[in-house]
Amino acid sequence: MSLLNHCKRRIIEEIISPVRAISASGSDGYLTMVVDQFTLKVISSCCSFYDIIEAGVTIVEQLHSKRQPLRKMDCIYFVTNEKRNLERIQKDFEGEGMYRSAHLFVTGFRGERMAGFDILSNHEGLLRKLLAFKEVNLDFIPYDSRAFYIDIDGLFTTSLDLSEKLQQQIMSGINTLCKTLGVNTKPVIRYQASGRVEVSTECKNLAEKLNYLQNGGAESNEECTILLLDRSFDTAPLYIHDYHYQALAYDLLKIPVSISNPDHYNILSNTRLDNTDLKNKDENQKMDDVYEYEVSSTGGKKEVKKAVLDERDSKWVLYRHEHIGNVNQAITDETLKFTHNNVTAKIHRGENKGSNFSTSETIQAVRTLPQYQQTLSRYWTHISLIGECFNILKKNDITSIGEIEQCITTMLDSDGKSLTANKQRSNLLTVLDQSALGKSEGEFPIINDNNDKLRLILLYISHYTGINNDDLNQLIEHGRLSNNDQIVLKKLLGLGLCNSFDDIAAGNGKHIHKYELNNKERVKYYKQRLRNIEINLSRFEPLIKTIIYHLLCQLNIGNNSLISYNSFNQNSFNEEFPCVDKYNANEGSHYLLGNLNQIQSHSSIPRYSLKNKLVIVFVIGSITFPEIRCVYELMNESNSNIYIGGINITTPTQLIRQVLHSK
């Protein structure tokens, strides 16, 4: 079952329905629901407003917003267990109180569990009206059928910069995901042991804490495997242009994902009303996953439309992981087929008059017919989205920039010939110099967008060792990086996401590609891949696909038809991604979250049992759309059951803003 459907079912069946059953006679079945920022994101990701209405909730309000008393109504509070939330709920029941009764549901317990009980138990007015207090075990945000994230503040970090609070949030998110997916035995926990010593140490520490939380449950039978990766395991997806529909659209059109503040939203609109009803209290604040575009009405007036890019749109689900060129062809063919198969549409196209309308003109004509508007609006959204992407690709010559990116990440040119470090460095400096002069000579493009220059430099630095301070300053000078760009670069160096300050300080000026040092098999794989793919600009592939593939092999999942991924042999895989030793885990340490076996849902709703082995991959940092796509591809190839999550989801464009404004 889709992760979205799992969460929707739990919200309706485990939170709303039980309250409605006991409150229907007392308050005419009208319920109000109060949420915080985090739970609003949870609900809006998987439920429409009509789902909530149908389940019995009349009003949804934010906890920390100004609310009117509704003393004849029962209230469902669905919040995180933060102190400020519980104290605000107490205030709701001072004096006459805001509501007839309170039913309190918390997502999970982060930190000391007893602290929440202590806060609530000291308020007589609340205790008189508190009819339920339950832990839901839903402390993550589902993004689509297979992806999730756990933070709404737009943080960009790695294991080197994890606060205790964020560690607790990660552990609670992963644990409650396991509960939601029906994991009944203790998961096997693997972690990244390769890379920088301090990174592997932090990954191991977090894995051991997570392992300790699982103690007391049924012994593991490999029903579920959790793999913890630090964001530094593969930095290329953070910077490179990807040409698949979802990744490209979000990157080029700067569509936000997993970062917008719910305080800026109309509460009901954010719970996924129809596209035309989406509203935003702050016009400068873009909403997550919302594409805005202009259409012309019948009178020629321009009108701004908003479309939510999510799994309610069947075309989006069908094409989001396809190459943009293939999507363009498919959408065009479908649109023309629709118009040609309709007699009335043909007349409006002027076909009998010898007119030769474009696809967009055809749709504009047919849009005047009410019976076709709903169908065509779906096509129009995608035609507009694709058209904008192609315009930016052409304007910024991104495909030419993309060829340089592919060379850096794979060590191969489009013909499969190996490229030396000197050649790559020379090419990069030539591109930066020509871009600074605004004059192109030869095969290289002029880069007009400063973000594209910064991304290219970051990509190079993250793939080559031996870079020293002089080399770094040379790249900054030739790229004419702004002060803000230099701030971003230095922050990423501090996080170890494009080499590190220590690496730069120790650099000898002799640039060597990281694959030459420790992963020559990866280059062989790219040569093999280049022979099999149709599009040269997609010869790079995120490393996460190879890692998960080898994990599936360890679990004996999959079949011989899978592509051969040559980056690891099975022995080296176990060394680079070992399991937490259940006998050596530090059981004497005190972790505030408590033992997972004690954190049970109080609901009587039965959990779904797992039919297949389950793999959960969590990246300590942000995950990207290309990596999410890899999970779907592997599932299709191997018939496996995989979920991927991170602290949040990002795009290369969004990443630069996140890092620049991070503390």
Beta strand extents in 589-662 (DSSP E only): 614-624, 641-650
How much is the pLDDT for 14?
A: 97
Q: What is the DSSP letter of 274?
A: -
pLDDT reported for residue 456: 98
* Residues 618/141, Cβ–Cβ less than 8 Å: no
* 142-234+566-600+615-648 CATH pick, 1.10.10.10, 1.20.1730.10, 3.40.50.1910, 3.80.30.10: 3.40.50.1910
Query: What does the block give as tokens for 614?
Result: 């389950």
- In this prediction, the residues of the chain whose per-residue pLDDT falls under 70 are 24-29, 111-115, 216-222, 262-284, 298-299, 342-373, 557-571, 582-611
Cα–Cα dist 417/407, whole Å = 10
Q: Nearest-CA neighbor of 210 among 554, 642, 616?
A: 616
Q: Which pLDDT score is estimated for 279?
A: 43
Instruction: Please name the CATH architecture into which domain 245-395 falls.
Output: Alpha-Beta Complex (3.90)
- 365 in Cβ contact with 344 (< 8 Å): no
Q: Which of 615, 518, 528 is nearest to 564 (CA)?
A: 528
pLDDT of residue 610: 43
**Main-chain dihedrals φ then ψ at residue 662, nearest 5 degrees:** -75, 155
Kindly state the tokens that stand for 51: 């789902």
Q: Do the domains 245-395 and 3-138 match in fold? A: no
Residue 313 has a pLDDT of 94
The residues pairing with 99 across neighbouring beta strands, listed in sequence order, are 70
CATH architecture group of domain 3-138: 3-Layer(aba) Sandwich (3.40)
Sheet strand arrangement including 70-79: 57-62, 31-35, 70-79, 99-106, 130-135
List, for residues 269-309, the tens digit of each pLDDT value: 444 433 334 444 454 578 999 999 998 776 678 889 999 99
Closest CA to 195 of 187, 183, 203: 203
| HEC string for 515-533 | HHHHCHHHHHHHHHHHHHC
At CA 84, angle to CA 112 and CA 286, rounded to 5? Answer: 115
* 152/141 Cα distance (integer angstroms): 9
Provide the CATH topology of domain 398-515: 1.25.40
Sort 553 into a burial class: Cβ within 10 Å, 0-12 / 13-18 / 19+: middle
Q: Any idea which residue has 């209290």 for tokens?
A: 281
Alpha-carbon gap, residue 409 to 455, rounded angstroms: 12
The token pair at 75 is 């209230």
- Contact partners, residue 95, CB within 8 Å, separation at least 6: 125
Confidence (pLDDT) at 260: 76
The span from the CA of 380 to the CA of 383, in Å, is 5
125-156 burial code (b ≥16 CB/10 A, e <16): ebeebbebbebbbbbbbbbbbbbbbbbbebbb
**Taking the domains of the chain in order of start, what are their residue ranges?**
3-138, 142-234+566-600+615-648, 245-395, 398-515
Provide the 8-state DSSP code for 13. Answer: I
**pTM recorded for the entire structure:** 0.90
pLDDT recorded at residue 344: 56
Burial of 7 (C-beta count, 10 Å sphere; 0-12/13-18/19+): buried
Cα–Cα distance measured from residue 372 to residue 359, given in angstroms and rounded to the nearest whole number: 15
Model confidence pLDDT, tens digit, residues 219-267: 666 689 999 999 999 999 999 999 999 999 999 999 999 987 765 554 4
- pLDDT of the residue at 49: 87
- Max Cα–Cα distance, the chain, nearest Å: 84
Cα separation, 308 vs 278, in Å, equals 9
Return the pLDDT at 663: 74
- Residues 339 and 349: their CA atoms lie apart, in Å, by 8
Q: Is 189 left (phi over 0), alpha (psi -120 to 50) or beta?
A: beta
Contact 623, 644 (CB under 8 A): yes
* pLDDT of the residue at 596: 33
